[in-house]
Amino acid sequence: MQRSLKGLAASVVMLSVLAPHASAEQVPGETQEMARADSTTMEETVVLGRLQSAAQSLLQDRIEDDALVDSLDSETISRMGDSTVAASLRRVSGLTLVGEKFVYVRGLGERYSSTSLNGAFIPSPDLTRNVIPLDVFPSSIVSALSVQKTFAPDISANYAGGAVDISTTPFPDQGLNFSAEIGGGWNSEADNLNSYAGGSDDKWGTDDGTRQLPSQILQGLQAYQGSIGVQSILAGLNRTAGGGSAAEAVAINNGYALALNRDMALTSASSTPDFDSRFTLGNTYDLAEGLEGGVQLSGAYATKWRNKERYQAIFSIPDEQFENESQTTYSVDMTATATLGLRYMDEHELTVASLLLRNSDDEVAISDFHNENRQVSSGLGFRSYRMEFEQREMLVNQINGEHLLGFNTKALLRGWFDWVPSDAQLKWFYSDASASSDIPNRVNMAFDTVVNPLTAVVQSETLKRDSSAVDYRFTALEDAVESYGWKAEIPFAQGRNELNIKFGYQHDRKLRNYAQREFGLGSVSAPDAALNGGIAAVLSDTNIATLANGFRVQEQGSGSRSYLAATMVDASYGMLDWTYDDSWRITAGARYEDYRQVALPWNVFGYTVDQPQLPTDSATLSAAAFANDDYFPSVALVYMSDWLAETFQLRLSISETAIRPDLREVTDASYQDPVTNELVNGNPDVVPSSVENIDLRAEWFFANGNNLTISLFNKKIADPIEYFESPASDTNTARTIVNAAQTKIQGVEIDGVLALGFIGGWAERYFVQGNATFQDTETVAGANADSPTNNVRPATGASDYVVNMMLGFDSMDGRHAANVLYNVFGERLYVAGRLGAPDGYEQPFHSLDLNYSFYPTDNWTVKLKVQNLLDETVEIERAGVVTFAENPGMAVALKVKYDF
């Protein structure tokens, strides 16, 4: 906690800088605006302080919140230049971004956070996790982002770090509006690109069927009872009246091999600039007296090329056993939204919205590596070629209603509800959403290589003499989620007392099916000439069709890699929100959640009674089901005054929450992670984690717009759910999900905005916004972990510190705005070692970005963004040895926007 105490001391110094200026009757910026009020540039005062006012509003929103919430609005996100929700959230105090898609809150992994869209539960297109990868949401569709760090009964109790809610465009009430934006970009790593012949629809982020599993193979699996191997085909032929021969079975199998997509020859791709375009169009209409309607449409399309150079090594002998990978990715992102709204008497609102997201990545990777069987000094090595096309898609349809029992409504009802207090509210929603992740073909080709033992440069390559040298994997995931609920609030006021009674209900149901089929193509008897000559020659029709070469195709792995799963949650809550004399506020309540889950292994190769697709024995079915219900209390105390500032708030929050295991983690089955290729073992003995949360936050809101927030937090997690390495054969890596003994987290967060006008007149248009988190974490592995090197270690993904700083500038005439953003995190645990192997830590990454906006007229905007100015590299070290390195490159983007 030394860092935490130092951070607290630093915040006291900051308060002393802020406070003297809080009492000023008029700040410099206000004086200048009044002086120009009678000039012809009156409209300029509207845009003055574009960036500064947006930054200050982030903290001002906290005044009304009944929980500890950090927010980002659309204006701030736009100014910061972040293109995805994931990238934007790393600007929030205590949050770090992992893998460019998952957010860690206060050192807790992605499983300890939750994500909702307009308050509704939504599905995940991620193949390996139940949580949602936040890089699938473009920041352009967001009206606000909020991260609730303390639990309140009106949100799900299944989180411990933070509850992220993404709010999309609300009721369109800005009259006729239109905007169009087009941009381009460049990345320093977008060179030395590789590609291959794909499909005609790749530019739209979808496969045209070129990569799909051939229908002949699906028909063969059905005809030969789940196996297309030569012996299975022969057995199937012999079950028919005429029988069959081995030669006939070989010919049929060869036909299946020829049906696979083998047009995989590598080509060099030209480096084209990033492309980004989007538009919005909307209007509002007066439909009748007191009734208005609105419509808002938007669409976006973006493409980019990237090349990543990755390095991995074994920490003990990195010069002998290592891997160098070059990966080219062509990405397509498409977004479409439609919002319809009705508003009646400013007291009733109905919004219907649809959102379609599509993200696709087409990857080509070349990996040269050496292991204990072929160290580099031997002059021998391995090479793998990987081609993978992944399409992620999400469709969300939502209906939201808000109703206020105000003066107009009571008059319309003619006394029917006069007994209900005025300003009573009812909010309800219904959400139907689906998400899919489709990998129509992931091809991995294994070659043996001869290398220069001094430089490791490949001199020749030969297709591995193996029956599965070319691995074809076809994967499809589909999630369907139905979510609905309502929230009611009834206010009472008497004298200096204000009381709000809040209660509600929510139902969430999720269905998932995950299918993975894998086939191996290769030969164990081919002559050398048939295995040489590169991809195009080895996989040519002539080479495969020559029966003497011995190429065969056979399904791989077990059917248990696929599964069917479902979850259902029914929740209800009640809470009291009492305010006394505008000085004290107490919020207390509880939430009841009834959680049910089932996950069944699905044998996609099961076509017989002996091998059914789904288990039928009672023991397996019983173990597949999981249920848990509990009450989750919460209490918050707020003190409000003008101590040292125009508004001062001191908040204390105490609550209990839970973390439940993921969809298939409670099944007694093993599966291969489609991303890392690690063997993952489920564990039916895993139980939910219980979490105790204590937060104390002090907030100062000064008259000149400056803000300062200091937060202390403490979390205790019993039975935290963690992955630990487990024994595996040969050179494979395996992980098992277990309950560790406990995790403890404590720390301090500092957040604020400071206008720099006090320095001098030249600094009046500058401001600093920043936050810092200092924390100490500890995880005790306990008896369930298998031989961890360190039984006590930091929490996975946790950093001792996280710092975000922004220096902002707003020109006097409102035509220019700029900011420099800096983000850094302390080293964080990436992987825990086993059997004496050291833990692996991701090293600090110093991110420095620059954003500049030019407003030549009221309708035109030009934006320039430069990211990773320091050209930092992502590195992981074990015992001081770099075992992983990747350079994301420096990126530059230029956009032009017209709107009215």
**Structure tokens given for 715:** 């979390």
* Residues 338, 340, 341: CA angle, nearest 5 degrees: 150
Task: Tell me the CA distances in angstroms from 816 to 11, 137, 312, 857, 899, one per residue in order.
Answer: 31, 28, 44, 11, 17
- Read off the pLDDT of residues 344-359 as tens digits, 9 standing for 90 and up: 999 999 999 999 999 9
- Read off the pLDDT of residues 197-213 as tens digits, 9 standing for 90 and up: 999 999 999 999 999 99
Q: Is 391 exposed, middle or buried (0-12, 13-18, 19+ CB in 10 A)?
A: buried
Cα R_g (the chain), whole angstroms:
30
CA within 13 Å, CB half, 26: 7
Give me the pLDDT at residue 200, please. 92
* Residues 634, 638, 644: CA angle, nearest 5 degrees: 150
Which positions ≥6 away from 283 have C-beta within 8 Å?
172, 175, 176, 177, 294, 295
Give me the pLDDT at residue 892, please. 94
Q: What are the strands, taking DSSP E only, across 314-457?
A: 322-344, 348-369, 380-405, 424-451
Q: Is the pLDDT of residue 24 over 80?
A: no
CA within 13 Å, CB half, 793: 25
The model's confidence at residue 560, banded by pLDDT at 50, 70 and 90, is low
Give me the pLDDT at residue 29, please. 36
Give me the pLDDT at residue 103, please. 78
- Tokens 């899919």, residue? 436
Q: Which of 217, 829, 180, 247 is nearest to 554 (CA)?
A: 217
Task: Tell me the CA distances in angstroms from 783 to 74, 109, 735, 786, 787, one per residue in order.
Answer: 47, 21, 16, 8, 9
The model's confidence at residue 831, banded by pLDDT at 50, 70 and 90, is confident
The model's confidence at residue 62, banded by pLDDT at 50, 70 and 90, is low
3-state secondary structure 294-306: EEEEEEEEEEEEE
Give me the pLDDT at residue 562, please. 85
Q: Is the pLDDT of residue 44 over 70?
A: no
Give me the pLDDT at residue 623, please. 78
Q: Between these two residues, 256 and 132, which has the higher pLDDT value?
A: 256
Q: Between these two residues, 93 and 35, which has the higher pLDDT value?
A: 93
Q: Which of 669, 699, 695, 673 is nearest to 683 (CA)?
A: 669
Lowest mean pLDDT among 156-160, 516-520, 618-622, 677-681: 677-681
Q: Is the pLDDT of residue 11 over 60?
A: no
- Helix ranges (H only) for 618-710 are 618-624
Q: Is the pLDDT of residue 58 over 70?
A: no
Rounded to an integer, the average pLDDT of 446-471 is 95
- Read off the pLDDT of residues 880-899 as tens digits, 9 standing for 90 and up: 999 999 988 999 999 999 99
Rounded to an integer, the average pLDDT of 6-23 is 42
Rounded to an integer, the average pLDDT of 730-746 is 81
- Tokens 């302390």, residue? 826
Alpha-carbon gap, residue 587 to 652, rounded angstroms: 10
How many other CB atoms are there within 10 angstroms of residue 647's CB atom? 17
Fill in the DSSP letter of residue 84: B
Contact 684, 601 (CB under 8 A): no
Alpha-carbon gap, residue 68 to 634, rounded angstroms: 12
Percent over 70 (pLDDT), the chain: 89
Q: Which of 278, 268, 341, 329 is nearest to 304 (CA)?
A: 329
**Structure tokens given for 160:** 């411990």
- Read off the pLDDT of residues 586-640 as tens digits, 9 standing for 90 and up: 999 999 999 999 888 888 888 888 888 888 888 888 878 888 899 999 999 999 9
**Structure tokens given for 151:** 């639990």
Q: Between these two residues, 386 and 812, which has the higher pLDDT value?
A: 386
Q: Between these two residues, 553 and 159, which has the higher pLDDT value?
A: 553
Rounded to an integer, the average pLDDT of 827-837 is 87
Rounded to an integer, the average pLDDT of 822-846 is 89
- Read off the pLDDT of residues 642-660 as tens digits, 9 standing for 90 and up: 999 999 999 999 999 999 8
Q: Which of 485, 355, 388, 502 is nearest to 127 (CA)?
A: 388
Percent over 90 (pLDDT), the chain: 56
Give me the pLDDT at residue 670, please. 66
Mean pLDDT (the chain) is 86
Lowest mean pLDDT among 26-35, 407-416, 578-587, 781-790: 26-35
How many other CB atoms are there within 10 angstroms of residue 457's CB atom? 10
Give me the pLDDT at residue 61, please. 61
Give me the pLDDT at residue 676, please. 58
- Read off the pLDDT of residues 183-198 as tens digits, 9 standing for 90 and up: 999 998 888 899 999 9
Alpha-carbon gap, residue 817 to 125, rounded angstroms: 37
Lowest mean pLDDT among 87-91, 343-347, 482-486: 87-91
- Tokens 């069944």, residue? 600
Give me the pLDDT at residue 324, please. 94
Q: Is the pLDDT of residue 40 over 50?
A: no
Give me the pLDDT at residue 33, please. 36
Give me the pLDDT at residue 730, please. 47
Give me the pLDDT at residue 668, please. 66
Lowest mean pLDDT among 73-77, 303-307, 846-850: 73-77
DSSP string, 723-752: EEEE--STT--EEEEEE-SEEEEEEEEEEE
- Helix ranges (H only) for 109-165 are none
Give me the pLDDT at residue 7, please. 44
The model's confidence at residue 400, banded by pLDDT at 50, 70 and 90, is very high
Alpha-carbon gap, residue 559 to 604, rounded angstroms: 5
Count helices and strands (H / E) in the chain.
14, 42
- Read off the pLDDT of residues 89-108 as tens digits, 9 standing for 90 and up: 877 877 777 767 777 887 67
Rounded to an integer, the average pLDDT of 163-178 is 81
- Read off the pLDDT of residues 285-316 as tens digits, 9 standing for 90 and up: 999 999 999 999 999 999 999 998 999 998 88
**Structure tokens given for 778:** 């500890």
Give me the pLDDT at residue 353, please. 93
Give me the pLDDT at residue 39, please. 35
Contact 758, 767 (CB under 8 A): no
Q: Is the pLDDT of residue 675 over 60?
A: no
Give me the pLDDT at residue 602, please. 87
Q: Between these two residues, 664 and 660, which has the higher pLDDT value?
A: 660
The model's confidence at residue 32, banded by pLDDT at 50, 70 and 90, is very low
Give me the pLDDT at residue 87, please. 79
Alpha-carbon gap, residue 232 to 237, rounded angstroms: 9
Alpha-carbon gap, residue 83 to 104, rounded angstroms: 19
Task: Tell me the CA distances in angstroms from 710 to 61, 715, 805, 861, one per residue in order.
Answer: 16, 17, 16, 36
| Polymer length of the chain | 900
Q: Is the pLDDT of residue 672 over 70?
A: no
Lowest mean pLDDT among 2-11, 116-125, 228-237: 2-11
Rounded to an integer, the average pLDDT of 817-825 is 91
Which positions ≥6 away from 881 have C-beta within 8 Å?
313, 315, 318
Give me the pLDDT at residue 470, please. 96
Task: Tell me the CA distances in angstroms from 436 to 190, 206, 334, 512, 760, one per residue in order.
Answer: 28, 12, 15, 10, 56
Give me the pLDDT at residue 742, please. 94
The model's confidence at residue 320, banded by pLDDT at 50, 70 and 90, is very high
Task: Tell me the CA distances in angstroms from 527 to 297, 471, 551, one per residue in order.
Answer: 61, 20, 11
Q: Is the pLDDT of residue 143 over 70?
A: yes
**Structure tokens given for 437:** 């992740």
